[in-house]
Amino acid sequence: MRDVLAEGLRWRSEGVAAGRAVLVRSGGSAPFQVGSTLLVADDGRIAGSVSAGCVEGAAVEAVEGARRGRYRELVRYGVTDERAAEVGLSCGGVIDVLVEPEVPQEVLGAAAEERAMAVATPLPVGRETIEVTRVVVDDAGIRSGSLGDPSADAELAELTRDVLSTGISRTVRVGGRDIYVEVVTPTRLVIVGAGDIAVYLGRLASDLGFMTVVVDARSAFLTRERFPEADALLLGWADELADRAGIGPYAHVVVLTHEPRFDDPALVVALRRGARYVGALGSRRTHSARLVRLRDAGLGDRELARIHAPIGLDLGGHTPSDIALGILAEIVAEENRRRLASNPPERMPALA
């Protein structure tokens, strides 16, 4: 979602207004996850999606109607929709989509942050005016906004902390009303080692909306010509540049140098800072020797078990591009497993 919001920020910088549709609840075999977003600009451009193409045309029309009428509404799409032949989900799923005439400023602001943020939006009942108070929350609690009741705010803050811990948007119930808690997290990929695999990995990751940082102590490899899509190139050692690289709970750290003097410090700092994904290039024999060194550095078995090595899904290929694709596929697979474990498909409630 963050890549779609980045597009919205670019449109805004160009002076182009846009509305949005965002998937706030899904049931059955709906193809996309909660948080999937479709932006519709006044000049006709669109970005993102709320389904696998089944209802996109209808969602665009809904956004355009909301912009003309200056209202927000919750729309349900599914095989039972009276317009099923036109906009029904052929997969048999059901989705609730929040349609708004503008992309909320609070959401765009969260997308520009370097940390995880959540924006809680009360869902409309029928068509409502665009006036709505959104509550912005981070790990420390509520930053701005209120539901108008201290006990409801406290309950929302507690629920939002749980949602932030998973990094997955969700609709919750507070004070008798449904609240969509929209999580915006930095989708950061830190690549340690600027070899050929890193070149392909950076290209693929950029296309998928990752903020990409490449770290290497070898200046000959770390050039803008090799990494035109990267958001940052950092010359030096990963452990010394951990803050600038953004290594932390929302970072995916991929170590590709294949040299212990570069690999080991990067893996230690990634594991100790709780990186979301940690992977390292090398054969099983190489990794066995690596584990001995990392234990000597003070890491425990539980930390070491988090390292994905040999890195990436085995796609049967051995070229740099094949390996890069396997690495990114493994990262995506891990994210999806985390999403399903913390947010299983829900039974859809009736619309009010």
Per-residue pLDDT at 6: 78
Spatial contact of 190 and 211, defined as CB atoms under 8 Å apart: no
Q: Choose one of 184, 208, 242: the last residue of a domain.
A: 184
Q: Choose one of 160, 184, 208: the last residue of a domain.
A: 184
* Spatial distance between the Cα atoms of 224 and 244, rounded to a whole number of angstroms: 18
* Spatial distance between the Cα atoms of 77 and 275, rounded to a whole number of angstroms: 37
- How many separate domains does the chain show? 2
| Lookup result for tokens 């800072």 | 273
Q: Based on the domain organization, do 143 and 224 belong to the same domain?
A: no
Any domain includes 352: no
Per-residue pLDDT at 29: 59
Q: Based on the domain organization, do 147 and 213 belong to the same domain?
A: no
Q: Based on the domain organization, do 138 and 196 belong to the same domain?
A: no
Any domain includes 242: yes
Spatial contact of 36 and 22, defined as CB atoms under 8 Å apart: yes
* Dihedral angle over CA of 241, 243, 248, 252, nearest 10: -40
In the chain, the amino acid numbered 12 is: R
Per-residue pLDDT at 129: 83
H or E stretch including 155?
helix 150-166
Closest Cα partner for 262 from 217, 222, 221? 217
Any domain includes 349: no
Chunked mean pLDDT (size 10), the chain, 352 residues: 77 91 80 84 91 83 95 83 50 82 88 83 89 88 91 92 83 92 88 97 89 94 96 95 91 93 95 95 94 95 95 92 96 82 57 54
Q: Choose one of 151, 169, 184: the last residue of a domain.
A: 184
Who contacts 89 (Cβ-Cβ below 8 Å, separation ≥6)? 30, 31, 51, 54, 55, 77, 78, 79, 95
Kindly give the interhelix angle for 196-207 and 320-342, rounded to the nearest 10 degrees.
Answer: 40
Q: Is 221 helix (H, G, I), strand (E, B) or coil?
A: coil
* Spatial distance between the Cα atoms of 352 and 350, rounded to a whole number of angstroms: 6
Q: Is 285 helix (H, G, I), strand (E, B) or coil?
A: helix
Spatial contact of 121 and 134, defined as CB atoms under 8 Å apart: yes
Any domain includes 78: yes
Whole-model pTM: value is 0.75
Any domain includes 348: no
Any domain includes 22: yes
Two structure tokens written together for 251: 């970072």
CB atoms within 10 A of CB 303: 18
Q: Based on the domain organization, do 210 and 113 belong to the same domain?
A: no
Q: Based on the domain organization, do 9 and 101 belong to the same domain?
A: yes
Any domain includes 281: yes
- 292: domain range? 188-337
Per-residue pLDDT at 85: 47
Any domain includes 269: yes
Q: Based on the domain organization, do 76 and 96 belong to the same domain?
A: yes
